[in-house]
Amino acid sequence: MVNKNKVIKFFKEKRIFGFQTYVFFLFALMGILNIFYITQNPSLIKSLWHPLITPLFIMMLLGIFCDFVGKNIPILNKFGLGFLLCILLPSFLVYKKIISPDIAYYFDKLFFNKTSVSNSNDGIGINFSQFFITIVISGSILSVDRDLLKRSIFKFIPLTLISVFLSILITGFLGKLLSYQCPDIFKDKSKGSFFDSIFFVLVPLTNGGTNLGINGFANGIYLDFFKKDASSIRTAILAPLVLARVLSIFLSGILFVMFDKTIFSGKGSLEKKQKQMSFSDNNKNAKKSILEYQNIGMGMLIIFAFYSVGNVINTFFASKFSFKLDAMVYVILLLLIVKIFHLMSDKNQIFVSQTGQFMMTNFTAPVLAGLGLTTNFSELIKCITNRNILLMVSFSLILVVLITFLLSSFFGFYPLEAALTAGICSHSIGGTGNIGVMAISNRMDLLPFATIATRVVGPIIFSLASISFSYIY
């Protein structure tokens, strides 16, 4: 039987996002009222919906609440229940229409993601997810130890590529054994279970995420070859990635519980025989420097400048040479060059790092909730109930973890850290997914390497897959 006194004491002592529980629930009541009113009066949504404030408010309430609940359930909180709830609960609420599909549509098309420029009714979207990821990744890269980054990056990429290639090939044979049947829209040009498993399940898992990989294929080589609707192609190849995003966080929680206190753990250090500076240690200079309001603004201006240059480079290559990647690929490369060759003052790097920490502290859980609001719950259910897809995605994740775990010592890395970064994060779970994996395993210092596995290795896989697809199909 529930002890009422313990419950009352719990809610009196606990704080949600710094607020007393009753204050936060008052905010939640306001949010519920907003959602309910829009649901009952869909014709008024344009009047009730502010393009920035409304989605931010809903996203923060959902993310903060789910994270709080997940972190306060014993045992399960060690497996990342908070992050899983942030993704699954909002998606389920939309699926059951408790949150109006109109709200989810406005949130997706006008705020969280970037919509097609050709659709004038939707606009081009704020793309808050890109805003968040750009700031967090920039802060992470410029806060990592420079000497460690220089030594590790040229070993880390080969380890990731070897692990991904082996995982794709071996799981392809599993697909053949399972007699995998590709989605209906691809069946008229199927090349058999082995190649179909690789190009319709495994390549989407490892090719750089939704923006580059999924949209890149749906609007590029798959569109040209299959002559099908881009949205149908996107839905067909997105399903395995949606499942991987959920499984990856759960798997990272299991790895953390099993190996964090063993000899296989570097306690947050990726490289052996090297004490890696932690996120806090690496910012001792930042702590000595008083955090002023202007510091965040200066950090943002620096980050925006990098993104603008990266976007221009990407657009230039796309228009002149028909070679288009994700703009973040160039942003990451520029940041790595700046960090490795020390082309920016330590003071400015501290400002960027502080800005990244500000975003990470306040918006990690809300952004995961945003990911949930824009995730098709029915597609996730379809994945889980499809035995072959579930087996291949699970097997591929476990296999890539096992391979990196075994090969890590040859590259001078700790097995646990290598499995989390070069292993799990190589499966294109995206920026928010990477943050979830790193957060649940208490390895936020390694976010730059997780980002490299997704944003640098992913485009390499994308390019090789595009070339090989044209030969095979």
- Which is more confidently placed, 56 or 249? 56
277 has pLDDT over 50: no
Q: Which amino acid is present at 86?
A: C
Question: Taking CA 188 as the corner, what is the angle to CA 183 and CA 190, rounded to the nearest 5 degrees?
Answer: 70
Domain coordinates in residue numbering, the chain: 4-126, 135-472
% of the chain surpassing 70 pLDDT: 90
pLDDT tens for residues 60-117? 999 999 999 988 888 777 666 887 788 889 999 999 999 999 999 899 888 887 654 4
Lowest mean pLDDT segment, chosen from 73-77, 400-404, 429-433: 429-433
If pLDDT is split at 50, 70 and 90, which confidence band does 189 have? confident
List 15's β-bridge partners, or say none: 20
432 has pLDDT over 80: no
If pLDDT is split at 50, 70 and 90, which confidence band does 122 have? low
pLDDT tens for residues 190-248? 999 999 999 999 998 888 766 667 777 877 788 878 887 766 787 778 778 878 877 88
Contact assessment for residue 134 and residue 330, using Cβ atoms and an 8 Å cutoff: no
Q: Give the pLDDT mean for 439-467.
A: 84
Q: What is the pLDDT of residue 378?
A: 84
Contact assessment for residue 197 and residue 206, using Cβ atoms and an 8 Å cutoff: no
If pLDDT is split at 50, 70 and 90, which confidence band does 281 have? very low
278 has pLDDT over 50: no
